[in-house]
Amino acid sequence: MKNFLEHTGIEPGRLHFSWISSAESTKFVDVVTKITDEVKMLDPANKKYVKTEPKVD
Amino acid sequence: MKLIKIDQQSWNTGIEKAKSAYRVFGPVKEKNDHEFKLLEPNEMPDVHCQNTRLSPKSIIYPQSQIMFTYSLDESKEDCRIMKEVENVKSPMAIIGVRPCDALAFPIVRKNFDTPEYQDTYWIKAYEATTFVGLACNNACGTCFCTSAGTGPFGEEGLDVLIIADGDDLYAKPITPKGESFIQTAGWTMKAEASIESRIEELKTSAESSVTSSVPTDQLKNKTTLELYDAPFWEQEAFSCINCGTCTYVCPTCWCFDVQDETHGKSGIRMRNWDSCMFPLFTNHASGHNPRNAKHERLRQRFMHKLKYYVDKYDNGIQCVGCGRCIRLCPVNIDIRKICDKMNNFDADSCVCEATSS
Amino acid sequence: MTEYTDKIKEISKRVLAEGRVEMVIGFRKGSVPMMNQPHLATSAESVDELVWDSNCGLNLANYITDKKGTIGIIAKGCDSRNIVTHVIENKIKRDQLYIIGVPCTGMIDHHKINAMFDSEILTVEESGDQITISGNGFSETKDKQELLQENCTVCTHRNPVEYDELAGNLVEEQKNVDQYASVTKVESLSADEKWNYFEDLLSPCIRCYACRNACPLCYCPTCFVDESRPQWVGKSQDPTDVKTFHLLRAYHCAGRCTDCGACERACPMGIKIREFTKKLNKDCQELYGWEAGLSLDERPPLDTFKTDDPDEFIK
Amino acid sequence: MQNPYLPYPVRIDEIITETEDKSLKTFKFVFLNPDDEKKFAYESGQFGELSIPGLGEIPIGIASSPMEKGFIKFTVFKTGKVTAYLHAMKEGDIMGVRGPLGHPFPWKTLEGKNIVIIGGGFAFTTLRSSIISILDPANRSKFKDIHVIYGARSPGMLLYKDEVTAWAEREDINMNITVDGTDDPAWKYLTGFVPTITEQKAPPGNDDTYAIVCGPPIMIKFTQPVLDNLGYSHDNILMSLENRMKCGIGICGRCNIGKKFVCKDGPVFTLSQLNQMPKEY
Question: Chain B, 12-71: which have a CB under 8 Å from a chain D CB?
Answer: 67-68, 70
The answer to whether the CB atoms of B244 and C207 lie below 8 A apart is yes
Per residue in B107-132, pLDDT (tens digit) is: 999 999 999 999 999 999 999 999 99
Q: A49 CA to chain B: closest CA distance, Å?
A: 15
Q: D4 CA to chain B: closest CA distance, Å?
A: 6
Interchain contact B118–C (C-beta under 8 A): no
Question: What average pLDDT does range D45-69 have in this prediction?
Answer: 94
Q: What pLDDT shows up at residue B349?
A: 73
A interface test, pick of C247, C248, C305, C311 with most A CB neighbours within 10 Å: C247
Per residue in D199-253, pLDDT (tens digit) is: 898 899 899 999 999 988 888 889 999 999 999 999 999 999 888 999 999 999 9
Q: Are residues B201 and B231 in the same domain?
A: no
Q: Which amino acid is at B241?
A: I
Residues of D in contact with C231 (CB under 8 A): 81
The answer to whether the CB atoms of A7 and C234 lie below 8 A apart is no
Question: What average pLDDT does range B254-259 have in this prediction?
Answer: 95
Q: D21 CA to chain B: closest CA distance, Å?
A: 17
Residues of D in contact with B267 (CB under 8 A): 53-54
- pLDDT exceeds 80 at position B356: no
Could you tell me the residue range of the domain that residue C3 belongs to? 1-106+156-176
Q: What pLDDT shows up at residue A8?
A: 85
Q: Are residues C215 and C169 in the same domain?
A: no
Q: What pLDDT shows up at residue B354?
A: 43
Percentage of residues in chain B having pLDDT higher than 90: 83
Q: Hey, which chains touch C, using 3+ CB pairs under 8 Å?
A: A, B, D
Interchain contact B123–D (C-beta under 8 A): yes
Residues of D in contact with B260 (CB under 8 A): 52-56
The answer to whether the CB atoms of B267 and D54 lie below 8 A apart is yes
Q: What is the 3-state secondary structure (H, E, C) of chain C?
A: CHHHHHHHHHHHHHHHHCCCCCEEEEEECCCCCCCCEEEEECCHHHHCCEECCCCCCCCHHHHCCCCCCCEEEEECHHHHHHHHHHHHCCCCCHHHEEEEECCCCCCECHHHHHHHCCCCEEEEEEECCEEEEEECCEEEEEEHHHHECHHHHCCCCCCCCCCCEECCCCCCCCCCCCCCHHHHHHHCCCHHHHHHHHHHHHCCCCCCCHHHHHCCCCCCCCCHHHCCCCCCCCCCCCHHHHHHHHHHHHHHCCCCCCCCCHHHHHCCCCCCCHHHHHHHHHHHHHHHCCCCCCCCCCCCHHHCCCCCCCCCCEC
Residues of B in contact with D244 (CB under 8 A): 281-285
Confidence of residue A57 (pLDDT cuts 50, 70, 90): low
Q: Are residues C164 and C66 in the same domain?
A: yes
The answer to whether the CB atoms of B224 and D276 lie below 8 A apart is yes
Domains of chain D: 8-101 (2.40.30.10), 107-240 (3.40.50.80)
Residues D220 and D231: their CA atoms lie apart, in Å, by 16
From the list C2, C4, C3, the residue with the least C-alpha distance to C160 is C4
The answer to whether the CB atoms of A4 and C198 lie below 8 A apart is no
Question: What average pLDDT does range B263-280 have in this prediction?
Answer: 94
* Residue after which a domain boundary falls, among C176, C206, C229: C176
Q: Supply φ then ψ for residue B5, to 5 degrees.
A: -90, 135
Question: Chain B, 243-262: which have a CB under 8 Å from a chain A CB?
Answer: 261
The answer to whether the CB atoms of D251 and B123 lie below 8 A apart is no
Interchain contact C306–A (C-beta under 8 A): no
- pLDDT exceeds 90 at position A5: no
Residue A3 CB coordination number (10 Å): 17
- pLDDT exceeds 50 at position B353: no
Per residue in C92-151, pLDDT (tens digit) is: 999 999 999 999 999 999 999 999 998 889 999 999 899 999 998 899 999 999 999 999
Higher pLDDT, D281 or B36: B36
Q: Which amino acid is at B315?
A: N
Q: Is residue B213 part of a domain?
A: no
* Number of domains forming the structure of chain C: 2
Q: Is residue C218 part of a domain?
A: yes
* Number of domains forming the structure of chain B: 2
Interchain contact B317–D (C-beta under 8 A): no
Over chain A, what is the mean pLDDT?
A: 83
Q: Is the dihedral of CA D267, D273, D279, D280 positive or negative?
A: negative
Burial of B20 (0-12, 13-18, 19+ CB in 10 A): exposed
* Residue after which a domain boundary falls, among B150, B183, B208: B208
Per residue in B284-308, pLDDT (tens digit) is: 888 888 899 999 999 999 999 999 9
B interface test, pick of C120, C133, C220, C244 with most B CB neighbours within 10 Å: C120
Question: Chain D, 38-97: which have a CB under 8 Å from a chain C CB?
Answer: 80-81, 84
Q: Is residue B100 part of a domain?
A: yes
Could you tell me the residue range of the domain that residue B19 belongs to? 4-208
Residues of A in contact with B69 (CB under 8 A): 56
Pick the residue from chain C with its C-alpha nearest to B50.
Answer: C119
The answer to whether the CB atoms of A11 and C191 lie below 8 A apart is yes
* C84 within 8 A of C76, measured Cβ to Cβ: no
Q: What pLDDT shows up at residue C119?
A: 86
Q: A38 CA to chain C: closest CA distance, Å?
A: 14
Higher pLDDT, B155 or A15: B155
Burial of D13 (0-12, 13-18, 19+ CB in 10 A): middle
Pick the residue from chain D with its C-alpha nearest to C229.
Answer: D81
Higher pLDDT, A45 or C227: C227
Residues B172 and B247: their CA atoms lie apart, in Å, by 32
Q: Are residues B78 and B163 in the same domain?
A: yes
Residues of D in contact with B73 (CB under 8 A): none
Q: Are residues C34 and C93 in the same domain?
A: yes
From the list C214, C216, C234, the residue with the least C-alpha distance to C225 is C234
Considering CB atoms only, which of B80, B120, B225 is closest to D53? Answer: B80
Considering CB atoms only, which of A7, A18, A52 is closest to C187? Answer: A7
Give the Cα-Cα-Cα angle B321, B326, B331 (nearest 5 degrees): 160
Q: Are residues B139 and B166 in the same domain?
A: yes
Residue D265 CB coordination number (10 Å): 19
Pick the residue from chain C with its C-alpha nearest to A27.
Answer: C315
Residues B17 and B185: their CA atoms lie apart, in Å, by 5
The answer to whether the CB atoms of A9 and C279 lie below 8 A apart is no
Q: Hey, which chains touch D, using 3+ CB pairs under 8 Å?
A: B, C
Q: What pLDDT shows up at residue B352?
A: 46
Pairs of CB atoms within 8 A across A/B = 15
The answer to whether the CB atoms of A54 and B266 lie below 8 A apart is no
> Which residues of chain C have a pLDDT value below 50?
none
Confidence of residue D6 (pLDDT cuts 50, 70, 90): very high
Considering CB atoms only, which of A51, A52, A54 is closest to B66? Answer: A54
Q: Are residues B245 and B165 in the same domain?
A: no
Task: Collapse the DSSP code of A3 into the 3-class scheme (helix H, G, I; strand E, B; otherwise coil) and give the result.
Answer: helix
Q: Hey, which chains touch B, using 3+ CB pairs under 8 Å?
A: A, C, D
Residues A9 and A39: their CA atoms lie apart, in Å, by 16
Q: What pLDDT shows up at residue B193?
A: 87
Residues C92 and C65: their CA atoms lie apart, in Å, by 6
The answer to whether the CB atoms of B85 and A54 lie below 8 A apart is no
Task: Collapse the DSSP code of B262 into the 3-class scheme (helix H, G, I; strand E, B; otherwise coil) and give the result.
Answer: strand
Q: What pLDDT shows up at residue C25?
A: 97
Q: Is residue C9 part of a domain?
A: yes
Give the Cα-Cα-Cα angle D15, D17, D22 (nearest 5 degrees): 135
Per residue in B86-95, pLDDT (tens digit) is: 988 899 999 9
Interchain contact D181–C (C-beta under 8 A): no
Interchain contact C229–D (C-beta under 8 A): yes
Percentage of residues in chain D having pLDDT higher than 70: 100
Q: Are residues B195 and B241 in the same domain?
A: no
Residues D262 and D278: their CA atoms lie apart, in Å, by 12
Q: Are residues C233 and C93 in the same domain?
A: no
Q: Are residues B79 and B100 in the same domain?
A: yes
C interface test, pick of B57, B241, B246, B262 with most C CB neighbours within 10 Å: B241
Pick the residue from chain A with its C-alpha nearest to B86.
Answer: A57
Burial of D275 (0-12, 13-18, 19+ CB in 10 A): exposed
Task: Collapse the DSSP code of B38 into the 3-class scheme (helix H, G, I; strand E, B; otherwise coil) and give the result.
Answer: strand
Q: Is residue B214 part of a domain?
A: no
The answer to whether the CB atoms of C240 and A5 lie below 8 A apart is no
- pLDDT exceeds 80 at position A55: no
